[in-house]
């Protein structure tokens, strides 16, 4: 049985197989659109706020 997923960019149904070199995307175009969104910081991974008392690597030089 082949898994079918939605392309994260356009929502098109995509077979999750090794033959699909762009998985989970449906195409190179959708893959590049998603990469561009990350580069433009449209996506954010939540994390803890930095502690002002912690030393940054740049402070050590």
Q: Which residue intervals of the chain are DSSP H helices?
A: 28-39
Task: Report the distance separating Cα 18 and Cα 34, nearest Å.
Answer: 20
Q: What residues are designated binding site for Zn(2+)?
A: 7, 10, 26, 30
Show Cβ contacts of residue 40 under 8 Å, excluding neighbours closer than 6 positions. none
Q: Output the known binding site.
A: 7, 10, 26, 30
């Amino acid at each position: 049985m082949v898994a079918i997923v939605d392309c994260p960019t356009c929502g098109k149904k995509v077979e999750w197989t090794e033959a699909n070199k762009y998985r989970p995307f449906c195409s190179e175009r959708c893959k590049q659109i998603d990469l561009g969104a990350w580069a433009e910081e449209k996506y954010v991974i939540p994390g803890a706020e930095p502690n002002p008392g912690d030393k940054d690597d740049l402070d050590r030089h």
